[in-house]
Structure formats: C-alpha cells, structure tokens
C-alpha cells in the first residue's frame, strides 16, 4: 500500500496501490482506498490542500494483449484523470492455453489540474490473467464497473470483433475505441467486421484513424463553403486518394488502407453515393490518370509504387463517380494519406481540388476550368493518444458522421476477398 | 418599435412566386444547395481567410482581452492560416515595437502561461501596425490601399472584420469613415465585411438610437456584431443548454412554480483606475443596462424555434419589451447606492469619492438594485430582483430561481420546516449549478433539513474554459451573431434603464450610503423585504 501525499500541479500522483487476487479482493480494496484516506495533501511542500473525494464520470475498460501496451494505455488514462476522471480497468490476458490464474493491482491516482481547482482522484485496476480466465473478459470487467456510468472499451491492437469474448464484453459497453490504422494487412476486413458490429448493436465507435482526419474533412468541406464552388458538390465525378507505403510493390494487403478508404467513405456518406462496383485492384488502364506527383508532401519526395492501387465505382443516382486509392512509396508512416483529389463537372465546367499533407498543414488548392481559384492552408499538427481519447470520450453518443463514414467505407470495400 | 421581419428561407420573393404560392403551386426556383460536407463535423469550423482591423489597438481592452483572445485562438489552431491582424492606433509604433508591446501584455494577461514560443512567433508574423488618426480622411484612404495589399500578399480574400476597441465616442466617426472609403461594401466576390462594436452602445436611449442610425447608414444589421462579453461566458452559454437541453427543468420554469428570481452581479473590486469612465457611466449604465438585462432575457425568454441568431434574439427582445410595457417606478422599484470607505478582503479601501479622477461630490451610483416585472404569460406576477455593485464583500455572479413553498406543509410539527427549493446557477466564481431540496435527517424523528445537489464545472470538467472574448471573436469571424446584441435589443434595454436614471438625475442622492465591504444600501433590502422576501446571502 502506498500513500504518497505530495502533489505537483497537473501531474498525476500515485496515492494508493494494493494487490488483489480475486474480484472480491479488488472490491474490498476499492472500498478501503477511500474510507481510510487523510483528506489533506501536501502541495509544493505546503500542507493543507483539501482532497476531493473520488470522482468518476465513466468506466474505462482497456483490453491490452501485451503488458507494455497495457502500461502505455494506463498512462494515457492517467493523463486524462483531471479532465475525465474515470474508473479504469486494464485487462491484460496472456497465455490462453496455460492454466488459469488472476492477479490484480488496485491504484488510485490523484491530480490537481490547476492551482485553483480541487484535487481529483480516480482508480485504476490492472488485471493480469492467464488461461481460460483471460478469455472471459466480460466476467472480469462487469463486476468492477461503476453502474449507471457510461462504459467505454478501448481496444488497442487487433480486436477480434467477430469473436464471442469481444461480443460479450461489448454488449455491456456504450463505446468502443480503436485505431484501425494499426491493424495488420490492409485492415479492411476488420473494418467490415466493425461496420457489422455497428449495424447490429447500439455501440458507438471512435476510431482514431477517422478522428485524426478531422482537419482533412474540415479542409475539404471548406472548398464548398465558397458559393461559387458549392454547385459542383453534387457533380463529383472522380475521387482519388494517394497514400504512403514502404512496400515498393504496393501490392494489395501490404499496407494498411483504412485511412484513405475512410476519406472516400466520408465523402460517399455525406453525398449519399451508392456503390456500383466495390474496390478491386486496378488492371490495365483502369481508372486512367496517374497520381499527381506529391512533391513536398510530408516526408519529402515520393515515387509511385508498382501497384496501380484499387478502384471502385460509385453513383450519385445520375452519373458515376470513379474512385481510385493508390499507393506511393514514401518515408511517411505507411497508410498515411498524402493527397485527396476531387474532380467535379457541371454544365461543361470543371472544378478540380487538390488537398495535400505538408508537414503540419493540409494544403488546399482549387482550379475552376483550369484557372487557380483558391488556395488555403489548415494547420493539422499530429495529435497524441490523449487528445484523440479525449475527443472520443467527448463526442457523446453515436457520431452520425463516423457511423456514415464507416458504413460507406465498408460498402466500398465490398465482400471479403474482392480486392485480392 | 416594429419587430424585424425574418423571412423564411422558402418564402416567396417575387410577385411571380407570390402568385404561384397563392395558387398553391411551387415556383421553379431551385432549392438552395447546402454544403452537406459540413454536416456533423465536430471540429470547430475554421473561419474564412480574413483580416481583423483592430481600432484602438494600443488601448487597454485590446491588450488585456482582444489580442490575448486572438493569440489563444491561433495557438489552438482555430484561426485560418491566412489570417492577419492590422492594428490601428494613433501612437507612432513600427511593427516590431508594437509586437513587443503585445508580447509583454500576453505575458501579463494570457490565461495560459508561459507563452508557447512557436505559436507566438507564427502569430506575431501576422500582426502589422498602421498609425491612423480616426478623424483623418486620408488615413482611411491609406487603409484601403493597405488592406488591398494584405489581400494580395497574404491570401485574405477581401474578408475584413473591423473591431472597434476604441472610446465609444469614436465609434460613429470610424464607421462613417469606413463607409466613406467603401470598406463596408460586400460586392460580388469581394469578400465579407463585418464590424464589431464594444459596449457601451450609447449612454442613453437617444444616443443609442443615434449610434444605431449612424452605423445603419453604413453597415447592414447582419454585418454588425455588438459585443456584451457576458454572453460569451461559458456558464451563460450553458444556461441555454441547461434550460433547453434538459426536459425536467423547463416545465417548472414559470409563474406556477417559481416564486421569484434573483440575479446578482457583485464585484469586490472598486473602479480600478477608471474613475473618469465610471463617473460618466455608473452602475446602471455599466452593468444593469447590458449584463444584467441580458441575463434576465436569457432566464425569462421563451424557447426559440431554432438556434439561429435572429430566432434567439427575437425571443430575448420580447422579454425586454414585456419589462418595459409596465415601466418601473424609480421611487419604489429601484435603489441606488455609492460606497464609502470600508474593509474588503481584510484590507481598508477608500470610498468612491476618494478614488482618483472622481469628483469629491460625485453623485454617480456604484450600486443599483431593481425589482423588475415581466408582463407576459409565463412570468406575470413573478418579480425579478436584480442587483449589481462595486466594493461588495465578494465577487459573485449568480442567477437564483426561488421556487414556491409546497402547497401543504406536511412536516410542520417535526422540527424546522425545510426551505423552499432553490436552483442557483453560479456564473462566477466556482461556475456551477446547485439545487436545494429537503431531506430527512437520519434518526427516529421526522426532521427535514435542506441539502444541496451541487454540480461544479471544476470537478466535472477539469478543463480550461475559453475566455468569453475567444468565443465571441471566433463567432464573429464565422458569421454567427447568436451571442451578439441586436440594435433593437440595445434600444429596448435603454428604454428600461432610462426612466430610472432620468428620475435619479432630478434629486441629489444621500451618498455615500453603504460601506465598502457590505452588501449595499439598506434601501435595497427594502425592495425584497417589502414583498416578504430577502436577498440571498453569499
């Protein structure tokens, strides 16, 4: 047991730590944490700050398959204690084929977010288990959840969304947080599984991959704030997304494609485009144009990969919209969107938009009938897991934009195997 | 005054459309296209590329509030990359010295310190200074040239926001000059033009009307953003969410359940080296006419049909009209006061008449309390007690909804009866909401005691709220006027305050009539005691 009472403004401090070997022991430790506490603490050497009682505004369940991932997630959660004090349950299950075992550490972290703010404390329960115990995630999390508070499940890595343990755990959750851009292969099969989950449950999903693109969406939307360009919005004829790969062949499945596909999914959902032909590898001359060179984009010069990428055909009910998602070899992290190009045609007039990533900005350029008509920059610094998690938590119920983008992305991806 | 007509989007606009509408037919006019990509974007919309032309850039308001707000908006990526500040002042600065002055002010007034060096560096590059005498016509011609050059060099696309952080006496002059050189025009493809005007908007009804007329000669009402910074405060904005985003309170928000409402804006500070300003203003003009009446409007208004600027402001104006329809009797419904020497926060403080730049015989009020009645269906018979003052014992701004007693006191024989329910919305400090209700004291007796359910922003959301100026400047740049006051609102508010101030001007007051560090003059207590009520204790 630890009871450290020295506090620095803004930094979480461990105020309590105890071991437990069963759910009952955890519950008993949770009760002890707050019953025997001295409600004063030392701040910068001065005693006397009043310690507020435990605060929880939600339950946070983290399923981490590796210990280092569990530690990283717990640290992220502690950074959010001041902003979103939660009961956090970190489950790290290992060796599913071995004997069953269960070990837990119960901790209380406190933070004084500002000089004039009361201290806020929250509990973290680290559960490590092996064998069959680790398979029954819902049986571990459910008894430890503070009832009546929303439950968010953060599943870093590769969540087996179609499996029974995940379905059971998520049945008691309000929100699932994932990062689909870290999934293996092209990530698209799992994206479909996640879309199925959203269709069949009330679960809200926050995907860091989609949240990170918010500045891109803002940049693309800003083009059509201009009344001169707005009429072109319903006459989109081509969407081309270029993404980075480290694989010179650019073969389908070699690089995560969730982010570029989300761009198309978002546009398709907002513009109510239906899928005529799902994504399939481009063969022959396919959808025509080679990607425009992305010189100066994040990570310096790029060169086309051998693969011509994948293509799909959408429809706005009147005309078809060609979609190309294409890799280029770049030193930026694989799967990063480098460019989104839009082409719209209306009454013999053409609008071309080119949105590119440049260092910490998104650069928008628009040409109307070949004449440059607009140029803007949007700052888009890389956001940390803490920022992304905070935004996920703060988004309330299901975000219709996220649901629409995911649903359309899954439809564009098409049935499994269509892309190979 | 006639209520401004707000034409629905699909209303007939031409005679042909009117004839078709009467015949039950639709015109062939295409429905306006909307930018569907904007729907549901969670990220705050980045305003259009633009220039903010800041008049009075060397003044206190600019350095304490406006420029720190812009810096924070920039630091948090909420301003467009193509954003420029053209600071206008009379003093002879070059860009470098002016920027150094701003940096010094930010280091003093920024709500987050230390400054983010990188953010400051990129922000200061966007600030330039132009020396300009507001009465000098040729200076405004030079301003046009300068703005055109900024548009060309910085991609600001002709979008201009003129922010008047000057003395109120200069508003009309500046607006007139802007009109003379054509900076008000929103021609096709020339970008938008907006003007932001700081309070006070006039010093009485006549001067407010005159100012509104002068502004209206140059700018359309939709281009004018009158700032009352109280409306940008997080808790004031939350008042709308609290009332109209929760199903359980609105049914209880009327004369049937509410006994009375109290709104207090108490300040422990004095006039803070603003003696000259305060002498010409007083508490009625400084706080009652704007902040207090805005709070009354927000508490008493009917739910607007939409959250659009005009829908919201239409409802607020109706409240002000309902107050002025039954004019106050200054002798019985309003009380004024002026502080004498006393003790605040364990420190001796001078009386108002001993403050610098204040007339030793001053008749300016530093305290005002009033009993308002709102003559409408919802609030008929429910008094709204409002008060504001300087050098009160503590700083507190609060709206208190005092509910009626229960109709039948079932527990009257068992100990002390509980107080009636109370809902208190604390605007500052300790922003939050408190609901008081009765609960049984544990034990064998049936004692009932008042307890509170308390929500404090600090515990539930441990985040730094944006300053009101950040909210309002961003709204103005985005063209959202919801939190800005409209010309008719300003005039209606003056219509309420003018009769009080005019009546007071007729007779010399018995000042000072309250000690610094007390809750105001005894007469203020009479306002409530006469009705069998009392002011809330803080």
Q: Which of residues 189-228 of B touch A (CB under 8 A)?
A: 189
Q: How far apart are CA B315 and CA B298, in angstroms?
A: 9
In three-state secondary structure terms, B237 is helix
Could B41 and A221 be called an inter-chain contact, meaning their C-beta atoms sit closer than 8 Å? yes
Query: Residue A6: its pLDDT value, please?
Result: 57
Query: Residue B264: its pLDDT value, please?
Result: 96
The answer on pLDDT for B496 being more than 60 is: yes
Q: Give B190's contacts in chain A (Cβ within 8 Å).
A: none
Nearest-Cα distance to chain B for A376, in Å, is 7
Could B36 and A233 be called an inter-chain contact, meaning their C-beta atoms sit closer than 8 Å? yes
Mean pLDDT value of segment B268-295: 91
ω into A410 cis (within 30 of 0): no
Give B410's pLDDT tier (boundaries 50, 70, 90).
Answer: confident
The answer to whether A358 contacts chain B (CB < 8 Å) is: no
The answer on pLDDT for B359 being more than 90 is: yes
Token duo for residue A18 = 């105890």
Query: Residue A416: its pLDDT value, please?
Result: 61
Spatial contact of A85 and A392, defined as CB atoms under 8 Å apart: no
pLDDT tens, residue by residue, B384-397 = 999 999 999 888 89
Spatial contact of B329 and B527, defined as CB atoms under 8 Å apart: no
Cβ neighbours, 10 Å, residue A90: 24
Query: Residue A165: its pLDDT value, please?
Result: 87
Q: Which residue has the higher pLDDT, B134 or B295?
A: B295
Cβ neighbours, 10 Å, residue B38: 15
The answer to whether A117 contacts chain B (CB < 8 Å) is: yes
Q: Which of residues 65-104 of B touch A (CB under 8 A)?
A: 77, 80-82
| Residue from the list A116, A221, A233 with its beta carbon closest to the beta carbon of B33 | A233
CA-nearest of B320, B453, B295 to B375 is B320
The nearest alpha carbon in chain A to B49 belongs to: A376
| Residue from the list B82, B458, B462 with its beta carbon closest to the beta carbon of A376 | B82
For A159, residues 6+ apart whose C-beta sits below 8 A from its C-beta are A63, A166, A176, A178, A190
The answer to whether B40 contacts chain A (CB < 8 Å) is: yes
CA-nearest of B425, B461, B24 to B253 is B425
Query: Residue B10: its pLDDT value, please?
Result: 44
Query: Residue B12: its pLDDT value, please?
Result: 47
Q: Give A267's contacts in chain B (Cβ within 8 Å).
A: 37
Q: How far apart are CA A404 and CA A207, in angstroms?
A: 13
Full-model pTM: 0.79
Q: Which of B259-263, B354-358, B438-442 has the lowest mean pLDDT?
A: B438-442
Spatial contact of B171 and B211, defined as CB atoms under 8 Å apart: yes
| Residue from the list B35, B45, B461 with its beta carbon closest to the beta carbon of A224 | B35
Query: Residue A132: its pLDDT value, please?
Result: 81
Query: Residue A1: its pLDDT value, please?
Result: 46
Q: Which residue has the higher pLDDT, B434 or A47?
A: B434
In three-state secondary structure terms, A161 is coil
**Beta-carbon pairs below 8 A across chains A and B:** 82
Write the DSSP string, B371-430: EEE--STTTTT-EEEEEEESS-SS-EEEEEEEEPPPSS-TTTTSSSPPPPPEEEEEEESS
Q: Which of residues 265-284 of A touch B (CB under 8 A)?
A: 267, 270-271
Tens place of pLDDT per residue across chain A (420 aa) = 444 555 677 777 787 888 998 888 998 888 887 765 555 555 455 555 445 545 667 889 999 888 888 888 888 887 777 677 788 999 998 787 888 888 999 988 887 777 766 677 788 999 998 888 788 888 889 888 887 788 999 999 889 998 888 998 998 899 999 999 999 999 999 999 999 999 999 899 999 999 999 889 999 999 999 889 999 999 999 999 999 999 888 777 889 999 999 999 999 999 999 999 999 998 765 444 444 444 444 545 556 666 788 999 999 999 999 999 999 999 999 999 999 999 999 999 999 999 998 878 899 999 999 999 999 999 888 888 888 888 887 776 788 999 999 999 999 999 865 455
Mean pLDDT value of segment B302-316: 91
- CA-CA-CA-CA torsion sign (B459, B463, B469, B474): negative
Q: How far apart are CA A29 and CA A34, in angstroms?
A: 9
Q: Most A CBs within 10 Å: which of B36, B37, B458, as the mutation test of the A interface? A: B37
Give B5's pLDDT tier (boundaries 50, 70, 90).
Answer: very low
The answer to whether B38 contacts chain A (CB < 8 Å) is: yes
Instruction: Report the number of secondary-structure helices (H) and strands (E) in chain A.
Output: 10, 20
Could A231 and B33 be called an inter-chain contact, meaning their C-beta atoms sit closer than 8 Å? yes
Report the percentage of chain B scoring pLDDT > 90. Answer: 64
Query: Residue A300: its pLDDT value, please?
Result: 54
Token duo for residue B39 = 């729907």
Query: Residue A37: its pLDDT value, please?
Result: 56
| Residue from the list B37, B80, B458 with its beta carbon closest to the beta carbon of A270 | B37
Q: Which residue has the higher pLDDT, B275 or B384?
A: B384
Q: How far apart are CA A160 and CA A134, in angstroms?
A: 14
The nearest alpha carbon in chain A to B119 belongs to: A379
Mean pLDDT value of segment B286-305: 95
Cite the active site residues of B. Answer: 291
Q: How far apart are CA A142 and CA A137, in angstroms?
A: 8
The nearest alpha carbon in chain A to B464 belongs to: A114
Token duo for residue A49 = 């700050």
The nearest alpha carbon in chain A to B74 belongs to: A379
The answer on pLDDT for B292 being more than 90 is: yes
Could B80 and A57 be called an inter-chain contact, meaning their C-beta atoms sit closer than 8 Å? no
The answer on pLDDT for B7 being more than 80 is: no
Q: Give A231's contacts in chain B (Cβ within 8 Å).
A: 33
Q: Give A214's contacts in chain B (Cβ within 8 Å).
A: 41-43
Could A218 and B46 be called an inter-chain contact, meaning their C-beta atoms sit closer than 8 Å? yes
The answer on pLDDT for B107 being more than 70 is: yes
The answer on pLDDT for B208 being more than 60 is: yes
Query: Residue B192: its pLDDT value, please?
Result: 94
Query: Residue B501: its pLDDT value, please?
Result: 93
Query: Residue A247: its pLDDT value, please?
Result: 86
The answer to whether B48 contacts chain A (CB < 8 Å) is: yes
The answer on pLDDT for B460 being more than 70 is: no
Q: Which of residues 132-161 of B touch A (CB under 8 A)?
A: 155
Could A221 and B38 be called an inter-chain contact, meaning their C-beta atoms sit closer than 8 Å? yes
Could A217 and B41 be called an inter-chain contact, meaning their C-beta atoms sit closer than 8 Å? yes
Query: Residue B3: its pLDDT value, please?
Result: 39
Q: Which of A11-15, A319-323, B91-95, B140-144 has the lowest mean pLDDT?
A: A11-15
Spatial contact of B159 and B84, defined as CB atoms under 8 Å apart: no
């Amino acid at each position: 047991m630890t009871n450290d009472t020295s506090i620095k403004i803004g930094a979480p401090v461990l105020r309590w730590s105890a071991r437990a070997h069963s759910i009952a022991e955890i519950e008993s430790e949770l009760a002890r944490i707050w019953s025997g506490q001295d409600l004063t603490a030392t701040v910068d050497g001065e005693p006397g700050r009043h310690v507020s009682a435990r605060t929880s505004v939600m339950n946070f369940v983290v399923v981490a398959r590796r210990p280092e991932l569990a530690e990283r997630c717990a640290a992220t959660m502690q950074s959010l204690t001041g902003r979103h004090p939660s009961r956090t349950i970190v489950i790290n299950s290992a060796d599913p084929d071995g004997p069953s075992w269960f070990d837990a550490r119960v901790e209380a972290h406190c933070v004084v977010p500002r000089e004039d703010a009361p201290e806020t404390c929250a509990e973290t329960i680290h559960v490590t288990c092996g064998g069959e115990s680790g398979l029954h995630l819902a049986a571990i999390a459910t008894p430890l959840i503070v009832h009546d508070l929303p439950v968010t499940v953060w599943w870093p890595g590769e969540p087996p969304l179609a499996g029974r343990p995940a379905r059971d755990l998520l049945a008691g959750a309000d929100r699932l947080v994932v990062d689909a851009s870290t999934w293996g292969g092209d990530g698209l099969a799992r994206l479909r599984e996640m879309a199925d989950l959203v269709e069949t449950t009330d679960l809200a999903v926050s995907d860091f991959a989609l949240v990170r693109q918010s500045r891109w969406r803002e940049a693309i939307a800003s083009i059509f704030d201009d009344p001169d360009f707005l009429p072109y919005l319903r006459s989109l004829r081509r969407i081309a997304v270029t993404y980075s790969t480290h694989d010179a062949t650019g073969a389908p499945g070699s690089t995560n494609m969730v982010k570029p596909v989300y761009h198309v999914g978002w546009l398709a959902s907002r513009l109510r485009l239906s899928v005529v032909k799902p994504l399939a590898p481009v063969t022959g001359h396919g959808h025509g144009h080679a990607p425009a060179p992305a010189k100066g984009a994040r990570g310096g010069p790029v060169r086309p990969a051998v693969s011509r990428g994948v293509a799909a055909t959408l429809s706005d009910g009147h005309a078809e919209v060609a979609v190309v998602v294409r890799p280029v070899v770049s030193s930026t992290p694989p799967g990063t969107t480098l460019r989104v190009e839009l082409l719209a045609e209306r009454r013999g007039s053409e609008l071309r938009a080119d949105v590119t990533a440049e260092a910490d900005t998104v650069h928008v350029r628009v040409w109307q009938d070949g004449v440059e008509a607009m140029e803007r920059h949007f700052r888009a610094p890389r956001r940390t897991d803490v920022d992304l998690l905070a935004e996920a938590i703060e988004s309330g119920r299901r975000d219709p934009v996220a649901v629409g983008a995911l649903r359309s992305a899954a439809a564009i991806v098409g049935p499994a195997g269509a892309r190979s | 005054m006639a209520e401004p007509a707000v034409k629905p989007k699909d209303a007939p606009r031409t005679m042909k459309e009117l004839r078709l509408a009467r015949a039950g037919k639709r015109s062939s006019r295409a429905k306006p296209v909307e930018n569907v990509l904007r729907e549901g974007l969670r990220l705050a919309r980045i305003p259009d590329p633009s220039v903010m032309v800041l008049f009075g850039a060397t003044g206190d308001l600019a350095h304490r509030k406006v420029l720190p707000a812009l810096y924070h908006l920039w630091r948090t990526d909420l301003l467009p990359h193509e954003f420029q500040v053209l600071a206008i002042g009379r003093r002879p600065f070059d860009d470098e010295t002016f920027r150094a002055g701003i940096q010094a002010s930010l280091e003093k007034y920024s709500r987050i310190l230390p400054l983010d060096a990188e953010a400051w560096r990129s922000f200061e590059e966007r600030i330039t200074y132009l020396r300009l005498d507001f009465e000098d016509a040729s200076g405004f011609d030079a301003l046009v040239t300068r703005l055109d050059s900024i548009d060309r060099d910085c991609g600001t696309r002709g979008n201009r926001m003129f922010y008047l952080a000057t003395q109120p006496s200069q508003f009309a002059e500046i607006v007139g000059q802007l009109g003379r050189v054509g900076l008000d025009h929103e021609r096709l493809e020339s970008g938008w033009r907006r003007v932001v005007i700081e309070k006070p908007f006039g010093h009485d009804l006549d001067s407010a009307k005159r100012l509104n007329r002068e502004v209206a000669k140059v700018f359309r009402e939709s281009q004018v953003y009158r700032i009352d910074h109280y409306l940008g405060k997080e808790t004031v904005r939350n008042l709308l969410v609290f009332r109209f985003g929760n199903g359980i309170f609105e049914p209880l928000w009327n004369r049937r359940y509410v006994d009375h409402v109290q709104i207090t804006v108490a300040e422990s500070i004095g006039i803070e080296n603003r003696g000259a300003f305060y002498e010409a203003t007083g508490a009625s003009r400084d706080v009652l006419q704007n902040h207090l009446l805005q709070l009354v409007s927000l508490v008493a208004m009917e739910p607007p049909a939409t959250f659009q600027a005009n829908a919201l402001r239409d409802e607020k104006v109706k409240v002000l009209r309902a107050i002025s329809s039954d004019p106050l009797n200054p002798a019985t419904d309003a009380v004024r006061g002026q502080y004498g020497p006393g003790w605040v926060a364990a420190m001796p403080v001078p009386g108002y008449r001993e403050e610098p730049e204040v007339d030793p015989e001053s008749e300016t009020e530093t305290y005002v309390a009033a009993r308002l009645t709102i003559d409408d269906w919802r609030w008929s018979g429910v008094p709204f007690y409002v008060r504001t003052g300087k050098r009160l014992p503590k700083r507190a701004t609060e709206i208190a909804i005092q509910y009626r007693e229960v109709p039948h006191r079932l527990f009257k024989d068992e100990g002390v009866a509980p107080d009636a329910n109370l809902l208190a919305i604390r605007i500052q400090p300790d922003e939050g909401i408190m609901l008081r209700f009765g609960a049984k004291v544990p034990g064998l007796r049936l004692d009932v005691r008042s307890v509170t359910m308390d929500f404090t922003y600090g515990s539930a959301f441990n985040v730094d709220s944006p300053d009101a100026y950040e909210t309002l400047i961003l709204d103005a740049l985005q063209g959202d006027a919801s939190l800005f006051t409209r010309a008719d609102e300003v005039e209606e508010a003056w219509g309420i305050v003018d009769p009080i101030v005019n009546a007071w001007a007729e007779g010399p007051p018995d000042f000072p009539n309250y000690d610094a560090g007390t809750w105001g003059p005894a007469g203020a207590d009479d306002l409530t005691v006469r009705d069998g009520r009392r002011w809330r204790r803080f």
